[in-house]
Amino acid sequence: MVGKFANLTASQVEAIYDDPSLTLLERCVLKILEKAATDGDPRYLNFLTDQLYGKLPVPKEVDLRVSNPPTIVRCLDGSTIKLGRTLDAEVVEQIED
């Protein structure tokens, strides 16, 4: 429904809004789009998208330094290789036993 009204001009919106067969929901969507266009305020569109799709979750802050422990690979010669991120932000570190 939003896509149906989003590309209309102001005169087209007025003509459609006066149509007696328009549903209450269509009238509300038209008024929100009209208010957003006249005021230039994106909060109206944010309200509309929140009602249609739900609010987007607030992203959590992730500490990449400690989120995944490093993987230790043991080689055939007895040495080990530490793969992954460590607290010092090392990507790959080879450790001799």
- How far apart, in whole angstroms, are the C-alpha atoms of residue 12 and residue 30? 11
Percent over 70 (pLDDT), the chain: 77
> According to the model, what pLDDT value does residue 63 have?
65
Q: Which of 53, 69, 84 is a domain's end point? A: 53
* Sheet architecture: strand order including 71-74: 71-74, 80-83, 92-95
Residues 38 and 69 reside in one and the same domain: no
Q: How many CB atoms lie within 10 A of CB 60?
A: 5
**Can you give the residue range of the structural domain that contains 78?**
60-97
Residues 49 and 75 reside in one and the same domain: no
Taking 80 as the threshold, does the pLDDT of residue 84 lie above it?
no
Residues 9 and 49 reside in one and the same domain: yes
pTM: predicted TM-score of the whole model, two decimal places: 0.49
Model pLDDT for residues 34-65, shown as the tens digit of each residue: 888 888 888 888 888 888 888 888 888 766 66
Residues 6 and 49 reside in one and the same domain: yes
- How far apart, in whole angstroms, are the C-alpha atoms of residue 42 and residue 44? 5
Residues 96 and 68 reside in one and the same domain: yes
Q: What's the structural domain count of the chain?
A: 2
Taking 60 as the threshold, does the pLDDT of residue 14 lie above it?
yes
Cβ atoms of 82 and 63 within 8 Å: the answer is no
> According to the model, what pLDDT value does residue 68 have?
66
